[in-house]
Structure 1
């Protein structure tokens, strides 16, 4: 059993999580997170820890940001859009058991006030911003680093939040160049 409670968006996500692993969930009920849900998440974080596991879409990112801003020290699990898409619908509920388990094995912790030695210049050099293929490169690097897909500014913030080391970044960049080369 996973000791942390997993924060998901809805009932279908809970069903998918429980198919894949033995865990308990807190459902946000979508992107309109109310004070009671935040209170429950804070309590769960204090007592057991939480893993935020939202859909890899705009609404899921919005929920992730709201929770992260109000509940420090969250763990995060990420799926790619490919892993979470079925018949044009994006959501945790569409992911395979294998993809859900893998995402939960690769959780990242949000460190409050975290610092990373990754700079914006590193993102430029790696072609993750200000590059014609920046979006696709960020998608691949996000997979390799286990931080999900996001825009350039958010990618930089996630490198900081999750304390991505220069060595992790360089290894992923090298792998990306090898795969593209």
Structure 2
């Protein structure tokens, strides 16, 4: 099952559980102390693809859901019942403990049908643009991330974010041209 929207989860283990169940991209809040940069990425993903919030069925999970919803109105909500999110030992409650079937069931009521994938930027495009190797690569990635509102990332994460936020090749080229022009002006 391919999910069009980006799924907001609490952490890396949740992402792993989601990816065992469905083909989807996630944004991790890294717990309940959600930073402004994470909220900005969620807002951009909402604008471009839509957001589904799937957090743990406990107080911290509900708090994260509330914070994200307040900062990014219009998100969809998927819920796991507590009995589906409890660990085998019964000592932990979370998305990471849910079976793939339980996750698919929680998501099935809120997700839209996936549309045909748009044209994507390739690793070779990043390399050709000097974004993954060379003396200016880091600075170019920083500036490109700022221009596209996706934040700074290393090469691998940049490619992932370009895909998550469905940055089109034309948008990428336009932002890259601005970055290169600014670089020439400073040299």
Q: Same fold (TM over 0.5)?
A: yes
Provide, for residues 11-56 of structure 1, a one-character-per-residue CA deviation record: whole Å limited to 9, x for no partner: 0000000000000000000000000000000000000000000000
Question: Whole-Å Cα distance in 2 between the matches of residues 107 and 89 of structure 1?
Answer: 26
Question: Whole-Å Cα distance in 2 between the matches of residues 49 and 3 of structure 1?
Answer: 8
Aligned to 1:24, the other structure's residue is in SS state: strand
Give the count of matched residue pairs: 108
Q: Name the structure 2 match of 1:66.
A: 67
Q: Could you tell me the TM-score, scaled by structure 2's length? A: 0.57
Q: Name the structure 1 match of 2:110.
A: 107
Q: Name the structure 2 match of 1:124.
A: none
Q: Name the structure 2 match of 1:42.
A: 43
Q: Name the structure 1 match of 2:34.
A: 33
Provide, for residues 117-137 of structure 1, a one-character-per-residue CA deviation record: whole Å limited to 9, x for no partner: xxxxxxxxxxxxxxxxxxxxx
Question: Whole-Å Cα distance in 2 between the matches of residues 79 and 105 of structure 1?
Answer: 12
C-alpha RMSD of matched pairs (Å): 1.0
Structure 2: stretches of 5+ with no match in the other structure: 112-187
- The higher radius of gyration belongs to 2
Q: Name the structure 2 match of 1:90.
A: 93
Displaced runs of 4+ in structure 1, greater than 2 A? none
Please list, as runs of the form range in 1=range in 2, the aligned pairs for 1:1-181 lying within 5 A after superposition.
1-86=2-87, 87=89, 88-107=91-110
Structure 1: stretches of 5+ with no match in the other structure: 109-181
Question: Whole-Å Cα distance in 2 between the matches of residues 58 and 2 of structure 1?
Answer: 26
Aligned to 1:16, the other structure's residue is in SS state: helix
Question: Whole-Å Cα distance in 2 between the matches of residues 72 and 81 of structure 1?
Answer: 25
Provide, for residues 83-130 of structure 1, a one-character-per-residue CA deviation record: whole Å limited to 9, x for no partner: 00012100000001110000000228xxxxxxxxxxxxxxxxxxxxxx
Which structure has more RCO (C-alpha within 8 Å, separation ≥ 6)?
2
Offset, 1:71: 0.5
